[in-house]
Amino acid sequence: MNRITVIAYILLLNLIRRKDLYVLIILAATMLITLTSFNIFGLGGASRYIADIGLMMTWLFSWILSITITARELPGEENRGTILNILAKPVSRFELICGKWLGAWTVTCIATAAFYMLVTVVIAAKGDALQTPTLLQCFFLHSVSNAVIISLALALSTRLNSDAASTLSFILSATSFLVVPRIPGFLASESGIRADLLLMVYNLLPHLEVFDIRMRVIHDFGPISALLLFKSAAYGAAITSLFIFLAFLSYRNKRFSRAQLD
């Protein structure tokens, strides 16, 4: 295995040992099973309603997992003083950045796949099924979205402590997902400096909404075209690469000493 893969594998082993994934999976299973046992709003546990809530929780849990795992990795290595040992292997800082990203993304994808399978099993237990091609596309684009969020958190963690990096990552990614898609509507009633600020936010933050096709799964609209899927994935890969490159630029000249780390 090359050094990037080794760093990713070590991160995966550490997360398994800390049992972070198990807590989230148990929580998701408990909430989904609870949903199927109640007649909420008179729907009787309808499979469409379960799919809607289940996929929403899947996005929420993977979002939390992506940021919390990534934001603490580099600051944690620095606080423990192990960063000097890693860089003395020798491991280049670019390999360290890429390895941490790959490890966090792999863990998040595994957890996300588990969440999707859980939703599928619960709906199957209700005697219904989701369209497999659309569901696979949804999972694929969800994984691309995770890649973007992880790279953002990693870039912020190169200069901030874990708490600050995770908080800012939550704010920026939530803004990207919830606010950025609505900015064109806001611009119709704004002008001057407010409009300029909105345009700046619209152009600078990633458009995470392009990866969300949950409604196509829930309402059986069918899969998107191969061209649109490719364009969305290419956009995600470009944004992820940009954030990883910015993380490397921010970290490559960062200095460490035993006195600072102890």
Domain regions of the chain by residue span = 3-261
**261 pLDDT above the threshold of 70:** no
Residues found in the chain? 262
The pLDDT score that the predictor gives to residue 46 is: 64
* Cα–Cα dist 16/13, whole Å: 5
Range with the poorest average pLDDT among 7-11, 28-32, 170-174: 28-32
Cβ atoms 245, 155 nearer than 8 A? no
- Three-class SS of residue 26? helix
What's the mean pLDDT in 113-134?
A: 85
**44 pLDDT above the threshold of 60:** no
For the ranges 27-31, 78-82, 181-185, 237-241, the maximum mean pLDDT occurs at: 237-241
What's the mean pLDDT in 90-112?
A: 91
Is 184 exposed, middle or buried (CB count within 10 Å of its CB: 0-12, 13-18, 19+)? exposed
What's the mean pLDDT in 49-56?
A: 84
For the ranges 12-26, 49-63, 122-136, 204-218, the maximum mean pLDDT occurs at: 204-218
pLDDT classification of 45: cutoffs 50, 70, 90: very low
Per-residue pLDDT tens for 197-247?
A: 888 888 888 999 999 999 999 888 889 999 999 999 999 999 999 999 999
Compare 113 and 80 and report the one with higher pLDDT.
Answer: 113
| CA-based end-to-end distance of the chain | 31
Closest to 60 measured CA to CA, from 155, 177, 183? 177
In sequence order, which residues have a C-beta less than 8 Å from that of residue 246 and are 6 or more positions away? Answer: 155
The separation between CA 246 and the C-alpha centre of its own chain, rounded to angstroms, equals 18
pLDDT classification of 106: cutoffs 50, 70, 90: very high
pLDDT classification of 78: cutoffs 50, 70, 90: confident
**259 pLDDT above the threshold of 70:** no
For the ranges 16-20, 47-51, 204-208, 243-247, the maximum mean pLDDT occurs at: 243-247
What's the mean pLDDT in 138-162?
A: 95
Burial 124-146 (b: 16+ CB within 10 A, else e): eeeeeebeeebbebbbbbbbbbb
The pLDDT score that the predictor gives to residue 177 is: 92
